[in-house]
Structure 1
Amino acid sequence: MTVVTNGLQFIRFYPQFIQADTQFIHSIGRMFCRFLLSLIIVSMNVFINRTLFFFSKPEWWYHVLMMPLLFPLGNYYFIGTRYFDDTRVCLVGTAIIFVLYWISIVLLTLVVRSVIRWYPDVRQTLPRTFVMLVLVGLVTALLALFDVWVYSLVPLTGVRFSWETVKPIWALGLVFDVSMCLTLTMLYTYTKWHENQAETEQLKREALQHQFDTLKNQINPHFLFNSLNSLSSLIGEDTERAEQFVDQLAKVYRYLLQSNTRDLVPLRTELDFITAYINLLQTRHGNSLQVEQVVDPAYLESSLPPLSLQVLIDNAIKHNVMLADKPLYISIRTMPGGQLQVVNNVQRKTRRFETHRSGLANLMAKYRLLSTTPIGIEQTEVNFGVTLPLLTVSGVLTS
């Protein structure tokens, strides 16, 4: 009896269960469809964004302008006059050639960019253009076979896969290849020329700035005023030391005045100058400034820009505290591989200084004019170090 009662109740409420299950299934289906639609939209968005950034602005303009010319011409070669007479054939042919065109363009663009990476210099225009024409021609020949095969898969086009159909496409592709390669080569050459001109102008401005800063260093009134004050106090205290101070001051200013006439000076000459310069500074600052020089004699005949060491020492003094109980230590030493390293301990001043177009930045600009090896800078909480590549007349010194 219980079984029969339960059976009757199940039969009575079964339609409600079915309706509930159907609603649940429909809900799951709608959620899946929304998820699938969202995935498609996101994928299309990523594809469109990548495609937009894949081509440069001139390339976009070139391809947009070429499509109205190539689409009718290409379909005329493939389909004939039926492309212009039959609306359905026109729509199908345009859709096919649109897809094939952009597949071809992406592949050809990758080939062109590879050739440009192989021959990046403006002076390599002829070999770059020749290799580009050869590779683009080979890729175009293979794409022509693929295009004819795709057209032959659509009966409405009436295209059959045969050599008679392929040959006109090769002729059309040859015209397109020559046009594209010459256009892209001219655009690339102009772009590189413009970049070289901009870089040359920037280097000229940096060189003029360096010359201006060098002139300011030559007549540095602040340094001269401090030196004369130190000399005045020495004259009354120690005549012999005052005479030595005058000799060192004369040596320093003689070097400052001559520095603008040379791009490079021997390391030996720069060290002689910096020794005299340090002596003048230590006369004023005493034991609060301590400088160590450890130089391998093998590198004394190598070269560097004049006043390089003065710039680094002044930079260390400018940004750090110097006290008798907290001296500023500066180490000047040669490194294996032909490098000169200047390191100072960090004792930052509470007052901040404007570092734009600082002496260090000008020195870095000077090295960019003279060498392909940049200045190395390493800073920690304890030390600040600058590594200068030692140079020869022809470039970076190699050990």
Structure 2
Amino acid sequence: MQKLNDTWMRLVGVPLLALIGQWTMYGYTNVPYPDDWRIPFFFILGSVLVWETNRWGIILSRRKYPELTQTLRRIVYQLSWFVFFASLIRITQTFFYELIGIWPSEESLLFKPYFFNTLVSVVGTVQIAAYYEGVYLYQRWKITYTEAQELKKVNLQSQLDSLKTQINPHFLFNNLNSLSSLITSDTDQAERFVDELSSVYRYLLQQNNRDLCPLTDEVNFIMAYFHLLKTRYGDGIFLETQIEPHYLTYLIPPLTLQILLENAIKHNIIAVSRPLTIRLYTEEGHLFVENNIQKKKVAVPSNQIGLQNIMIKYKLLAHSPVTIRYDEHTFLVGVPLLAPTTEIVINQHPQ
């Protein structure tokens, strides 16, 4: 929640509005303005107390109902707070006036001064709070608009990355080399390799029209994708999966697993003597991808666009954040799995 930057309003604005409100009240009730410095002093003091109390109502309402969609509940919360505390403070203050003789009257607990003293405070507070709420709504709208623009950028980048993967000459060249070797040595394996390669490219072509997909689709894709890697690296790479069956219907942004596997392959040595082991497992509503760390001697340049895209997508989905943990031995990324009933909130921006 953004901090209220209202120092000048608290120091100057509220006391000034209190004086204007008091002058208005006396004029409306046709009572001559008294020549007693205590009346404006205590009125300003009461106004400051009213505003500081109601200011906390604004802060608490924003903590409880911060979103644009919660505006009505936030306003009702504030109005209820304003009426209760402004009335309590002003009624107490007016009674105090009568006790010390500042506002004497022949009839004890005269209704008119209590009513107008409270009314001026409530109306004044609502007017100031309306300005605060207007500024807050603009700030929230600006944040939402900025996030929408970021989402467009991320979606375009994801589409570009997907296209790059589809036509990546190195990826295609390496797989064709593997296929060429299999054709002469193991025709059955070559046939399966062609089927898996076809599955990989078919899945990549389908993702431009989806923002979320079932985990089962991602797992099936990554098994086909890993088959290509296994054919190339042999016993230099291993994939272990422990996916709980009931999570297979949960949703995940497409190509998330491919990005995470590519990240592991890009930054680590893959050799029979030093195999890279990648683990996929589910736990407490999250999918984790973990690999052992064995950094290449020559560091591979990385702008971390892949991980950033995943993190921003989950942020804009208003879901739990992506978990990234690592130490000397392992690197782990955990992404939340969205329940099948989750509303897709980013489908207005096609990828």
Determine if the TM-score, normalized by the shorter chain, exceeds 0.5: yes
Per the alignment, do residues 261 and 178 of structure 1 end up closer, same or farther by CA in structure 2, a change over 3 Å counting?
Answer: closer
Per the alignment, do residues 298 and 393 of structure 1 end up closer, same or farther by CA in structure 2, a change over 3 Å counting?
Answer: closer
Per-residue Cα deviation, 1:179-223 (whole angstroms, up to 9, x for no partner): 234333333333322322222222232222222222222222221
Moved more, 203-212 or 323-332: 203-212
- Give the aligned residue type for 2:146: A
Match of residue 346 from structure 1: 293
Per the alignment, do residues 103 and 173 of structure 1 end up closer, same or farther by CA in structure 2, a change over 3 Å counting?
Answer: closer
2:314 counterpart (347, 351, 367): 367
Match of residue 37 from structure 1: none
Q: Does the 8 A contact of 1:207 with 1:365 survive in 2?
A: no
Residue 280 of structure 1: CA displacement? Answer: 1.6
Q: Give the whole-Å Cα distance in 2 for the aligned partners of 1:312 and 1:294.
A: 16
Per the alignment, do residues 141 and 309 of structure 1 end up closer, same or farther by CA in structure 2, a change over 3 Å counting?
Answer: closer
Match of residue 85 from structure 2: 139
Match of residue 31 from structure 1: none
Match of residue 317 from structure 1: 265
Identity over aligned pairs, percent:
36
Mapping of residues 224-235 of structure 1, within 5 Å:
224-235=172-183
Q: Does the 8 A contact of 1:334 with 1:341 survive in 2?
A: yes
SS at match of 2:313: helix
Q: Does the 8 A contact of 1:371 with 1:395 survive in 2?
A: no
Mapping of residues 102-251 of structure 1, within 5 Å:
102-148=48-94, 158-160=102-104, 163-164=109-110, 165-251=113-199
Q: Does the 8 A contact of 2:14 with 2:51 survive in 1?
A: no
- Give the aligned residue type for 1:387: G
Per the alignment, do residues 354 and 103 of structure 1 end up closer, same or farther by CA in structure 2, a change over 3 Å counting?
Answer: farther
Residue 173 of structure 1: CA displacement? Answer: 1.9
Larger relative contact order (Cα-Cα within 8 Å, sequence gap ≥ 6): 2
Gaps of 5+ in 2: 344-351
Q: Does the 8 A contact of 2:82 with 2:122 survive in 1?
A: no
Per-residue Cα deviation, 1:73-107 (whole angstroms, up to 9, x for no partner): 52786895454xxxxx55x6655444443222211
Is 1:377 matched up with 2:324?
A: yes
Match of residue 334 from structure 1: 282
Mapping of residues 233-312 of structure 1, within 5 Å:
233-312=181-260
The structure where helix makes up a greater share of residues is 1
1:101 counterpart (33, 43, 47): 47
Q: Does the 8 A contact of 1:141 with 1:170 survive in 2?
A: yes
Is 1:387 matched up with 2:334?
A: yes
- Give the aligned residue type for 2:12: V
Residue 330 of structure 1: CA displacement? Answer: 1.1
- Give the aligned residue type for 1:108: N
Per the alignment, do residues 279 and 70 of structure 1 end up closer, same or farther by CA in structure 2, a change over 3 Å counting?
Answer: same
Is 1:70 matched up with 2:18?
A: yes
Q: Give the whole-Å Cα distance in 1 for the aligned partners of 2:218 and 2:308.
A: 20
Q: Give the whole-Å Cα distance in 1 for the aligned partners of 2:79 and 2:214.
A: 51
Per-residue Cα deviation, 1:250-279 (whole angstroms, up to 9, x for no partner): 222222222223333343333332222222
Q: Give the whole-Å Cα distance in 2 for the aligned partners of 1:111 and 1:302.
A: 40
Match of residue 34 from structure 1: none
Report the TM-score when normalising by structure 1. 0.71
Gaps of 5+ in 1: 1-53, 84-88
Residue 283 of structure 1: CA displacement? Answer: 2.3
**CA-atom RMSD, angstroms?**
3.4
- Give the aligned residue type for 2:60: S
Q: Give the whole-Å Cα distance in 2 for the aligned partners of 1:292 and 1:347.
A: 18
Mapping of residues 20-39 of structure 1, within 5 Å:
none
Q: Give the whole-Å Cα distance in 2 for the aligned partners of 1:300 and 1:141.
A: 57
Q: Give the whole-Å Cα distance in 1 for the aligned partners of 2:200 and 2:69.
A: 46
Q: Give the whole-Å Cα distance in 1 for the aligned partners of 2:323 and 2:20.
A: 59
- Give the aligned residue type for 1:317: I
Moved more, 70-79 or 164-173: 70-79
Residue 344 of structure 1: CA displacement? Answer: 0.8
Match of residue 43 from structure 1: none
Q: Does the 8 A contact of 1:329 with 1:345 survive in 2?
A: yes
SS at match of 2:328: coil
Per the alignment, do residues 350 and 148 of structure 1 end up closer, same or farther by CA in structure 2, a change over 3 Å counting?
Answer: farther
Q: Does the 8 A contact of 2:319 with 2:336 survive in 1?
A: no
Q: Give the whole-Å Cα distance in 1 for the aligned partners of 2:202 and 2:21.
A: 77
Q: Give the whole-Å Cα distance in 1 for the aligned partners of 2:131 and 2:318.
A: 35
Which has the larger Rg? 1
